[in-house]
Amino acid sequence: MSQMSKEDALSLPRHRHACHVMLYADTDSKLFGRYQTKHIVLMQMRFDGLLGFPGGLVDLSKETLESGLSRELEEELGVALLVSPEDHVSSSLAPAVPNLITHFYAKKMNESEIKEVEKAAVTVAKDHGLEVLGMVRVPLYFFKRGGGLPAFLSNSFIGSARSQLLSALQSFGLVSQQELAKATQQANQMRHQSQPR
Ligand SMILES: O=c1[nH]cnc2c1ncn2[C@H]1C[C@H](O)[C@@H](COP(=O)(O)OP(=O)(O)O)O1
């Protein structure tokens, strides 16, 4: 990922801009009544079968990065969520699409707000079942034989969504650096093992 400041990204001529956001919250809930899950992190299953964050292309002739992102969130999640410049995390050139800059945001909510988002995404969002097949929570824990975070990371992701997820998990202290290293190593092994011979 070739990162740059938001200001430099906005000064580049003839580039398109896409904004995506990681919504997350702390939680006390326990999986199977036993395992602390600690945090909720939302991603989505896109129409193309790839995992990504909610968001989309922004038209800077009509809107700011943040207002364009809020518009996309209303379409995809069915709620008007305000994203502010303080929620900005990174801006980078997209890995495989020429002249596209992806801006990544992270917004911390509380658990009941996240649950409202999940409910609205299924019941009122215009894109539900079409551009967005469903919201998913990222499993941030480890189970036997690579279950949990390693298995999740072995899925296919759009653009830089996987690296955005990994760096956000680390920088917001949601998963330790050692656990992330273990998860990515196991995920790579799982992907390798599932390659056709
Ligand atoms: O989650 C993401 N992280 C980084 N880049 C992403 C993510 N999702 C999509 N993208 C890239 C790939 C696409 O070419 C553009 C536009 O994305 P999309 O969300 O599909 O935009 P529209 O709904 O078409 O407006 O960003």
Query: Distances from the Cα of 138 to the Cαs of 16, 17, 60, 180, in angstroms?
Result: 28, 26, 31, 13
Cα of 19 from ligand 1 centre, angstroms: 8
Q: What is the pLDDT of residues 58-112, one digit of tens each?
A: 999 999 999 999 999 999 999 989 999 999 999 999 989 999 999 999 999 999 9
What span, in angstroms and rounded, lies between the C-alpha atoms of 5 and 54?
Answer: 21
CA 78 to chain centre: 17
Q: Are 118 and 26 in contact (CB under 8 A)?
A: no
CB-defined site of ligand 1, < 6 Å: 18, 20, 52-53, 55-57, 94, 97, 100, 102, 131, 158-161, 164
* ipTM summary value: 0.98
Q: What is the pLDDT of residues 105-141, one digit of tens each?
A: 999 999 999 999 999 999 999 999 999 999 999 999 9
* Residue-range domains of the chain with CATH: 2-139 (3.90.79.10)
Query: Distances from the Cα of 71 to the Cαs of 19, 84, 106, 186, in angstroms?
Result: 11, 13, 16, 37
Cα of 130 from ligand 1 centre, angstroms: 15
pTM reported for the whole predicted model: 0.96
Q: What is the pLDDT of residues 39-61, one digit of tens each?
A: 999 999 999 999 999 999 999 99
